């Protein structure tokens, strides 16, 4: 069982499944952290402040929905929103939080085109993370 689990979420059904699995491997007194990364565009941030502010408000609302469901299971999850490139932000957050497991949702690799699946976010995180990674499909 794990005591400090990080789950990056993008609010897709894969993220919901990853959260469910994380709850299942979390020890009784453990902590679950939900992280959403808002990907930055290649434009000056000050030009897009309103756009990013709206994305952040929506992200917090969606995170709150996860939190409410987890509270029904007697958990008190922590939630964070970060800006940047998803893979480096997820990996850095895992390092900073001293997480002992990272649970990430993924899609099935295409057996006819496996090379195109190697650079998915979940695959990159699994290679670079400082802790064990559970990839959920």
Q: What pLDDT, in 10s, does the model give residues 66-109?
A: 999 999 989 999 999 999 999 999 999 999 999 999 999 987 66
Percent of the chain with pLDDT over 70: 93
Q: What is the pLDDT of residue 81?
A: 98
- Return mean pLDDT, the chain: 92
Q: What is the pLDDT of residue 112?
A: 73
pLDDT classification of 44: cutoffs 50, 70, 90: confident
Domain of 32, in residue numbers? 2-106
Is 12 contained in some domain?
A: yes
The single residue listed with the structure tokens 């491997």 is: 25
Q: What pTM value is reported for the model? A: 0.92
Give the domain CATH number at 23. 3.40.50.620
Joined together, the tokens standing for residue 104 give: 């990430």
Is 26 contained in some domain?
A: yes
pLDDT classification of 122: cutoffs 50, 70, 90: very high
Is 124 contained in some domain?
A: no
Which long-range contacts does 118-127 make (Cβ < 8 Å, 24+ apart)?
121/8, 121/86, 121/87, 121/90, 124/87, 125/8, 125/87, 125/90, 125/91
Is 49 contained in some domain?
A: yes
Is 115 contained in some domain?
A: no
Q: What is the pLDDT of residue 119?
A: 76
Q: Are 11 and 38 in contact (CB under 8 A)?
A: no
The single residue listed with the structure tokens 């408000």 is: 57
- The count of structural domains within the chain is 1
Q: What is the pLDDT of residue 95?
A: 95
């Amino acid at each position: 069982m794990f005591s400090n689990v990080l789950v990056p979420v993008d609010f897709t059904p894969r993220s919901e499944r990853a959260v469910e699995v994380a709850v299942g491997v979390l020890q009784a007194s453990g902590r679950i952290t939900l992280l959403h990364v808002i990907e930055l565009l290649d434009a000056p941030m000050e030009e897009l402040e309103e756009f990013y502010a709206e994305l952040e408000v929506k992200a917090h609302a969606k995170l709150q929905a996860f939190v409410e469901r987890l509270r029904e299971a007697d958990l008190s999850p922590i939630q964070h929103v970060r800006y940047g490139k998803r893979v480096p932000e997820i990996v850095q957050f895992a390092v900073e939080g001293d997480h002992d497991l990272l649970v990430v949702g993924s899609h099935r690799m295409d057996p006819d085109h496996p090379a195109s699946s190697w650079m998915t976010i979940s695959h990159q995180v699994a290679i670079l993370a400082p802790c064990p990674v559970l990839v959920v499909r």
